[in-house]
Amino acid sequence: MDFEVLKPKVAQILGQEEMDRDLKLKNLCQFLSDSVSYYNWVGFYFANHETKTLHLGSYVGAETDHTVIPFGKGICGQVAESNANFVVPDVSAQDNYIACSFTVKSEIVVPLFVNGVNIGQIDIDSHVIDPFTENDERFLEYVNQEVAKLF
């Protein structure tokens, strides 16, 4: 996958002035899901640091019951505490994994920073075992740098 060709479209989606932030993020999620064959669920969680919880924002893919996740719980909750990317090649091998669907085989979560503060994350589930590479990480870091400009 050549992520470089996707970057201009990411910037274009997020730069549309006539749309509110939630719609921009929803359109971005749809674009990523449509553009990368193994991005089967794409969404954003946002942190509430007072309650130490993550709250589901815009997403595309199967509905999820996990709309609020405590810090430390699951992959997303761990990223809220670690401030580091987390790539899970095979979710069945993870002890602290919150199962969303039996179709999910792998996951990548990349934190979203605004002014040095982890305000949330992009979360991507895949129906394929071990599809994510360092290129996915770098691309999603770029995506989050662009998303951070909305805050």
Q: How many domains does the structure of the chain reveal?
A: 1
Whether pLDDT at 123 is above 70 = yes
DSSP letters for 101-137: -TT--EEEEEEEEETTEEEEEEEEEESSSS---HHHH
pTM: 0.94
Does residue 44 register a pLDDT over 90?
A: yes
Determine the straight-line distance between the first and last CA of the chain, rounded to whole angstroms. Answer: 29
5-18 average pLDDT score = 96
Per-residue model confidence as pLDDT tens digits over 69-86: 999 999 999 999 999 999
Range(s) of the domain holding residue 20: 3-148
- The pLDDT value recorded for residue 62 is 92
What's 50's domain CATH number? 3.30.450.40
The pLDDT of residue 89: 93
